[in-house]
Amino acid sequence: MRPITEPGVYSSGIPLQPNKVWRKTAALVMNIDDMSKRLKSLERKVNQQD
């Protein structure tokens, strides 16, 4: 753990989990931006077909 050296508000949103669950969650979080872009692209394609 590192000391906090800059003032401000710090947050974390992942509660204590077994390591196996945490590793899966961390991998998903790392890819959430790409997944969001893919979802928006798919939504646009579906809406164009209507």
Nearest to 38 by CA among 26, 46, 49: 46
Q: How many residues does the chain have?
A: 50
Instruction: Flag whether pLDDT at 13 surpasses 80.
Output: no
Instruction: Flag whether pLDDT at 48 surpasses 90.
Output: yes
Q: How is the chain split into domains, by residue range?
A: 19-49
Which whole number is the average pLDDT over 8-37? Answer: 90
Instruction: Flag whether pLDDT at 4 surpasses 90.
Output: no
Residues 12, 14, 15, 16, Cα dihedral to 10°: -110
Helix H segments across 1-50? 19-30, 32-49
Which whole number is the average pLDDT over 41-49? Answer: 95
